[in-house]
Every structure is written in C-alpha cells, then in structure tokens.
Structure 1
C-alpha cells in the first residue's frame, strides 16, 4: 500500500509517499485552510502527484480545525490526487503522534506559530488554545520576529545589533507596515526575521528576548498540563534555540523530552507501525 503523509505549517509542507520500503520525500509551501480556499490549495499541489500511485492520505496541518476547514483541504487533496481515502488532522495531533507515539506526554510546536497539548498516548486530553499570531503564538517565530521589528523601528535594539539588522534586511517603517497590515501571510513575514537571533545568540539582548518569549510560552500554555509528563518540542524555533528552550523547561519544573526539527519522520514511523500492527 502506498501511503502519503503530510505535515503542514504556515510556512512549508513536508510530504512523504511511502510503501514501507521506499520513501519519496518533498516539500511545498505551507497550506492553511483558514487563509486559503479549496481552489487555491488545489492549484498549489495539483501537479505534484502525477505518476505516483497513492492508496491513502494522512494530512496534518495548521488551521485544520472545524468541519469547513477540513473539508477544504480534503477536497483539494482529492482533486489533486484522485484519492478518496483521506484523513485530515490538525498539526498538533501530528506533533503529538510524532513526538510521543503511543506514550503519554506534552507535545509542543514552536515554528512560525506555537501550539501545545497534553497527550495520553492515543488522543489529546488537554489543550491550551494558541489564538494565532495576533492574540497568542507565544515563543514562536512570529512572536520573536514581531519583537525584533518593533525594537528596531522604535530604536530599542543595541546599536551594533541594530546596524547588523539594517544591513541584513534593509527594511524601512513603510515597507514593514505594508507587509504586516496590507499583504497576505503577515505571520510568515514576521517569522522570517527570527533567524536573525541565531546570528547573535550569545548577545545579552538576544538571550533576554529568547528567555522572555519561551518563559511566556510556558506560563501561558504549558503550566496548565501535568508537570510529571515529559515535554517534547518540534519546529524550527525549538530546533535552533533548543539549549535555551530546555533550560526554560527545567526552570519551570518540567522534564525536557525530545526536540526535533520536523514531525514528518515521527509520523512516518507512527503510520508504518500502525499499518504493520
């Protein structure tokens, strides 16, 4: 049986077509049914699957919550692949299955956005709503990028870091406001600046921002879960700043678990084990 597995965030989608022996992996832009129509999603993926026989699809994605959003993605995948056996789940279920498998734990996503849940080994049993890039997303690339942009434009960055930021991105107040308030996907735009922190990771300014944002993530999300469970992380922000993230987990009396860059590897293992079982 050929199984197509996808993990989609707001910025990119990781795909794997597997029969258990061979893996065909590729990447496309992110898919989010809150921000895209069925037609837009279909257009984005319609030529990818030509000449690849597919029997079943498991899609995990940001924004795949609620009947209408799930239907948009399901119809788009059916239009693009011709497959009728399609399961759509939110990206948090994907993270939990990837990070925890069939064991209890706390699963966290820290990428463009952020999310978290308590998982009992089979299903999500507690969930703090992330509330998106306007009302939530603490600790995410979006939150970090937003802070950097605000500090730069308000003159709150240390002088040398501000100089480096300007040289790297060449931004002005005008084009930032245009991108954030008038163009699509402002969360992707703001998150794109978070990588700058990697270049200055040992600076006091950077350390403060990372610790403050990760602490906010724990205080506003993770403290609601069972502190006896290990807390696992996935996503680009978690991966790049895992040392500070682990220190923050310990400071809030949680046991750090796995930190992985992408959930797709764990999802491949999860579904192959289930198909064998």
Structure 2
C-alpha cells in the first residue's frame, strides 16, 4: 500500500493506492506543518483518522508533500515522526511545491510553479530540479497574496474602520469579531495562519466589490513582483498554480498576469489527483 499525501497548513489530503494504482481509501486530516506542530501533535492528528490508524502497519511507502518542509531540518524531523508511526514504510518527505510541480507540469517541461492557498510559495522547475530564490520566513512576514495575508488585511480594514459599512455588516454576520476571541485564536491556539485564511472566503464571496478588488490586486501585484519576477526567464515559461486562492481568483490572476506580460499556465485547486497519476507512472 502506498500513501500519497498533500498537506498544507490547514488540511492534508491522503490517498492510499495499491501497486496497480487502484484507490483503496481517501481521507483528510488537519494540516501537518512541522514548522508549527510538535511530533506528538502530528501523531494525534494521524490517530484521529481511523483509516490511517488501522492501516499504518500495511503501508509500504509514504510520499509526503507538505507546507513547512522546505528545509532539511524539517524534512528530517518529520521523516523521523513518520518512520516511528509507519514502521514498515519507506518514507519520502518533500516540500509542497514538488506536489504542485508533479500535478501541473508535463514531464521534462520547464515552468515556474506557485502555491496560493493558506500560504504562498514560488519555484522554478528546470524539468528535473526545483530552484527557489526566496526562502520563506512564514506567514508573519511573507506569504504574499495568500489566504492568511488576505485574512489579516480584512481584519485590519475592519478594525481601522476602512471597510465599507455594508460589507462590515456582512463581515460581522459571517465571523466572530469580538477582539478577545480573535486574539485568542491568533496568540493562544494552534495554526493562527490557518485561522487567518478562513477570512479569505469573505474576500472571494465579495470579489466583485471595488473594496475587495483593491485588496486582491495589491496582493497579486506583490506576489508577482516579489516571487515570480525573481526569475529572469519568467516571461519565457508558463507559470502554474495550485491552491484555493489561485483557483477561486483565477480571473484576477489572468488580469494581473496580462499587465506583466506573463503566461498563466495550469491552475488547480488541489494537486492530489495529479500526484496519483505521477506515482502510478513512476512506480
């Protein structure tokens, strides 16, 4: 049994396949970002899913692609946690950008591959190796145009009284805006980046308003200039995306790319289906 996992900070999609590529089961856990979770927290999230807990000794391979796995230190730490849990499996841990590459990019094609979901990332794939010019420092100082950055911007606009009144009323209906509640979520509970990203739904739902359009355009301009345009050949290769923000704001991405003469490639909400095809083809 092979386990294929695509994990963000918010959630992780799991698919188990046999040697012929037949799907045995699918499930979902909370996100397994080693930058913000300890080993026991990761185990707790695994044990919370019956299919995973019951089949852990049957797994022969685990291919894990996750947020927070961009450094050797995090890869090694997470691999050790998994090896102690899936005791009979060969463990492969890669950063989530590799999942995006395998899901969006045809074999041997060169491309820039980006993630726009709870967090954000951008790399260049030369057909064999992934190259990154910007090392992520996480949601507090980076993650341009991501769900958590958009969420933070909406909260700021609301509290600084910069949100139009009619939208503020809708915002209050949709979310608990009590300051103590928000501060507890941000500073006391797990995954504050995932909490911030929940507000991005409001931005997408009201994206036709000029207020939301300004926030979206500002975020995408920042992402393009700070991430995509770091690569000298950015106008010569397609730029692929995975992630809910990219998927639901595809039209806005197209407009932003047109302004910078960039080629928007494939845009997928989740890379997991493409990962199945990749691992079947490369078994």
TM-score by length of 2: 0.92
**Is 1:154 matched with 2:160?**
yes
CA separation of 1:16/1:168 partners in 2, compared to 1, >3 Å: closer, same or farther? same
Secondary structure, aligned partner of 2:32 = coil
Spell out the pairing of 1:103-182 with structure 2 (5 A cutoff): 103-182=109-188
Matched with 1:60 is 65
Instruction: Please say which of residues 177-186 and 96-105 is displaced more in the overlay.
Output: 177-186
Q: How many residues align?
A: 274
Choose from 80, 91, 116 the match for 2:96.
91
**Is 1:251 matched with 2:259?**
yes
Unaligned runs of 5+ in 2: none
d(CA) in 1 for partners of 2:137, 2:124: 17
Matched with 2:239 is 231
Instruction: Work out whether residues 38 and 75 of structure 1, in 8 Å CA contact, stay in contact via their aligned partners in 2.
Output: no
Matched with 1:28 is 29
Matched with 1:7 is 6
Cα shift at 1:42: 1.7
Matched with 1:197 is 203
Cα shift at 1:80: 2.6
Instruction: Please say which of residues 31-40 and 151-160 is displaced more in the overlay.
Output: 31-40
d(CA) in 2 for partners of 1:255, 1:272: 29
TM-score by length of 1: 0.94
CA separation of 1:130/1:250 partners in 2, compared to 1, >3 Å: closer, same or farther? farther
Cα shift at 1:49: 4.0
